[in-house]
Structure 1
Amino acid sequence: MKVFVDQDRQSLHNPSGFLVNGIMQPNPEIPERMVRLLSGIAQGGHEVLPPEDHGQGPIAAVHAPRYLKFLSTAHSRWRRIPDATPEIFPNIHPDTRTASYPLSVVAQAGFHITDMSCPIGADTWEAARWSANCAVSAAKAVAAGAPAAYALCRPPGHHCFSDLAGGFCYLNNSAIAAQYLRARHNRVAIIDVDLHHGNGTQGIFYQRSDVFTLSIHADPARFYPFFWGHAHEVGEAAGQGYNLNIPLPRGTGDDGFLQGLANGLTHIRAFAPGAVVIALGLDAYEGDPFGGLSVSTAGFGRIGQTLATLGLPTVIVQEGVCM
């Protein structure tokens, strides 16, 4: 299987910390994640390729222009503020997404960043852009006839909305890949098996019927992202019935996760997509420090085997990784 990664440029983003229960802690979304994944990839004998630079078009197909302008210019603007910190952290947020759009980079940070896990450093935009290039390159390979391709995306993406970063995510790589595949297929499905709900992916496609979004995750009632990922969220307008959330009780193991996946795949098969994007989070692992679910190593193998029964062209996009 072809694997797309640009380790040097994707490693440029190396955030210092994030806020947990009011305490700043070391940020777990660090370049070491790629090192560990590449070690496993080497053992599997897969072909590792650099991504192409696809320009901003595929990114702009799912992300708002003012958001992309913010991401690409914010840090240089921020550093013009006297005594500004090396990284951007938001400190003020609007009460609604329809509030007036400010000119200040301080206020724009609060408008475009939903939590304190997404600091923007000098090279965050460059790393995120090349992470997205990995997703597009994998989608291009599958569109050209490869049965499957893997994008080692880092930073990850599934918590990112069209104009809102969150949960370590700046560009929604899975959504970008799905939108790219839409040029070849009338219907595309995204299956998110990360520990956390893919709230950004849901938001991007929530009013659309051409991309079915399925997320299987720890119940968000008391778990990140809290406000999204509940079973009653099924889409709206043209997208009503095209979003499916399967929240699982904390601590759910292999059998419970696979039962949820089997239920979700009956909806995917009914949707009859031409291709599928797998948002591959590995943080549902039983040893993950976030402690949400308890999927074993063998369980992940069974998840992969179950997804393979779809028999569809598949883009695998990396999301969360257990550290």
Structure 2
Amino acid sequence: MRVFFSEQHRLHFPQGELSGGELITPYERPSRVEYILRRLTERGFSDVEEPLPIDPVALHALCDAGYLRFLETAWDAWIAAGHRGEVIASSYPARRMQTNRPPRDIEGLAGYYALASETAITQGTWEAALSSAACAQSAANHVADGAGSAFALCRPPGHHATADMFGGYCFLNNAALAAERLREGGAARIAILDIDFHHGNGTQDIFYGRGDVFFGSIHGAPEDAFPYYSGFADEIGQGAGEGATLNIPLPPRTGYPVWSEALETLLGGIHRFSADALIVSLGVDAFEEDPISFFKLKSDDFKDAGRRIGKCKLPTVFCLEGGYAIEAIGINTVNVLEGFLETSQMART
């Protein structure tokens, strides 16, 4: 399995995250990638490649032009306004306020395009987000060209980013960009399987009205877990996309027996959708020791999950999402990939 990775992810390293009323070192940090790279090397994943530059046409086709302009210029505008710290949103367009008039002031603009205040923008965020998206797009190119699978080692992650909002550590939706690339490569129907503990609200939002992309997610119940306001079971898509969204929210302390049943339900939905290719939003924060989740999966469970996904027998792109038990993130991530390869290779022989 080819791995796509860029050193430019290091350019994004906020020094503060607002959590529990105080600024802490962010859970989403560069060392996450180092643990994954180390484990990939230990387990013989030697085919690691730099991504090609992001295709700007694809990016602009997916994202709002004003939002992209904001991400590109936010840091310079923030510094020009006299601010010394990082770009952190502090004001939002709430219920019954105007939501269709972007402010001129950078503080107002940051809140206009944010969906949560834990995610800061730094001097290198834009370049890092572009490199992360490029990893996803290059992995999709590789699979569109005939490879059975690829792993996009994306950082920052992407599944919370909508076409016009950032948050949840996400700026550009990597899985959505990969899906669009596979569509361009000839796949008529794409399935996106999100196994991150947190609901992929951004991915759902982008494809909610489309019938050519299936989105399925297992996640912490939104009454109890970020992003709180999406991921309910009655969200099933609308218009042409009605029935192409399947959410399975689960309660605190969910273990692998219940979680794996939910996974099988999603895999059944993918089969019925007759998908031509699969994108996996690969978050491993369902792990029992993750500091910001409440599921109870063990490391061996991720290998079994990978085996189950491999039985789909579909061309597959994995995009890294969450996972914040940093010392275990490499083991858990690579376990999914190895489990997948076990069954997908057996299916081809």
Return the TM-score normalized by structure 1. Answer: 0.97
Tell me the equivalent position of 2:334: none
1:107 aligns with 2:99: no
Write the mapping of 1:238-317 to structure 2, written as runs, cut at 5 A: 238-317=240-319
Which structure: greater helix fraction?
2
Q: Secondary structure at the match of 1:190?
A: strand
Q: Is the 8 A contact 1:58 1:136 kept in 2?
A: no
Tell me the equivalent position of 1:53: 53
Report the Cα offset of residue 81 of structure 1. 1.1
Q: Is the 8 A contact 2:287 2:295 kept in 1?
A: yes
Question: Of residues 207, 210, 231 in structure 1, which corresponds to 2:209?
Answer: 207
Q: Is the 8 A contact 2:255 2:296 kept in 1?
A: yes
1:165 aligns with 2:170: no
Q: Is the 8 A contact 2:216 2:266 kept in 1?
A: yes
Give 1:31's aligned amino acid. P
Report the Cα offset of residue 44 of structure 1. 2.1
Report the Cα offset of residue 119 of structure 1. 0.7
Tell me the equivalent position of 1:16: 15
Write the mapping of 1:76-115 to structure 2, written as runs, cut at 5 A: 76-82=76-82, 84-95=83-94, 98-115=99-116
Q: Structure 2 regions of 5+ residues with no counterpart? A: 327-349
Q: Secondary structure at the match of 1:182?
A: helix
Write the mapping of 1:60-209 to structure 2, written as runs, cut at 5 A: 60-82=60-82, 84-95=83-94, 98-183=99-184, 184-209=186-211
Q: Deviations over 1:268-300 (max 9, x none)?
A: 101011100000001110111124101111110
For 2:244 and 2:300, locate their aligned partners in 1 and report how far apart those are by CA, in whole Å: 30
For 1:44 and 1:4, locate their aligned partners in 2 and report how far apart those are by CA, in whole Å: 16
Give 2:90's aligned amino acid. N
Tell me the equivalent position of 2:31: 32
Report the Cα offset of residue 99 of structure 1. 3.1
Q: Secondary structure at the match of 2:246?
A: strand
Q: Secondary structure at the match of 1:262?
A: helix
Q: Structure 1 regions of 5+ residues with no counterpart? A: none
Q: Deviations over 1:41-72 (max 9, x none)?
A: 11221211111113322222321111101000
Tell me the equivalent position of 2:2: 2
Report the Cα offset of residue 107 of structure 1. 1.2
Q: Secondary structure at the match of 1:284?
A: coil
> Runs of 4+ in structure 1 displaced over 4 angstroms?
none
For 1:57 and 1:40, locate their aligned partners in 2 and report how far apart those are by CA, in whole Å: 35
Tell me the equivalent position of 2:333: none
Tell me the equivalent position of 2:345: none
For 1:162 and 1:99, locate their aligned partners in 2 and report how far apart those are by CA, in whole Å: 15
Tell me the equivalent position of 1:219: 221
Q: Secondary structure at the match of 1:214?
A: strand
Give 2:152's aligned amino acid. A
Q: Is the 8 A contact 1:161 1:201 kept in 2?
A: yes
Q: Percent identity?
A: 40
For 2:15 and 2:230, locate their aligned partners in 1 and report how far apart those are by CA, in whole Å: 27
For 1:235 and 1:23, locate their aligned partners in 2 and report how far apart those are by CA, in whole Å: 37
Return the TM-score normalized by structure 2. Answer: 0.90
Give 2:76's aligned amino acid. S
Q: Is the 8 A contact 1:159 1:201 kept in 2?
A: yes
Report the Cα offset of residue 133 of structure 1. 0.3
* Number of residue pairs aligned between Structure 1 and Structure 2: 321
Give 1:255's aligned amino acid. P
Q: Is the 8 A contact 1:209 1:238 kept in 2?
A: yes
Report the Cα offset of residue 102 of structure 1. 1.8
Q: Is the 8 A contact 2:54 2:133 kept in 1?
A: no
Question: Of residues 289, 309, 320 in structure 1, which corresponds to 2:322?
Answer: 320
Tell me the equivalent position of 2:339: none
Report the Cα offset of residue 307 of structure 1. 0.3
For 2:173 and 2:71, locate their aligned partners in 1 and report how far apart those are by CA, in whole Å: 13
Give 2:261's aligned amino acid. Q
For 2:313 and 2:195, locate their aligned partners in 1 and report how far apart those are by CA, in whole Å: 18
Q: Is the 8 A contact 1:61 1:176 kept in 2?
A: no
Give 1:13's aligned amino acid. H
Q: Deviations over 1:104-129 (max 9, x none)?
A: 22211001111122211100000000
Tell me the equivalent position of 2:343: none
Give 1:33's aligned amino acid. R
Q: Is the 8 A contact 2:54 2:130 kept in 1?
A: no
